[in-house]
Amino acid sequence: MFFTSNLYIPSSILAIRIKFYTFVQLRYQQKTNQQQRHVKQLAEISLQKL
């Protein structure tokens, strides 16, 4: 019992780490996409002003 629980704990920690890592990656991608869109909008606005 102790041995199996000992094995179970690290695997659950690993799963949580993987979930957290993928979540952070997704958030980072969304942020970069928003920044790119923002830069695009700024470029279009500056072109319209010219």
How far is the C-alpha of 37 from the C-alpha of 45, rounded, in Å?
Answer: 12
Return the pLDDT at 25: 92
Q: Give the C-alpha distances (Å, rounded to integers) separating 40 from 9, 13, 31, 47, 49.
A: 47, 40, 14, 11, 14
Return the pLDDT at 9: 63
Q: Give the C-alpha distances (Å, rounded to integers) separating 22 from 4, 8, 14, 32, 34.
A: 27, 21, 12, 15, 18
Which residue numbers in the chain have pLDDT < 50? Answer: 1
Return the pLDDT at 17: 87
Q: Over pLDDT 70: what percentage of the chain? A: 78
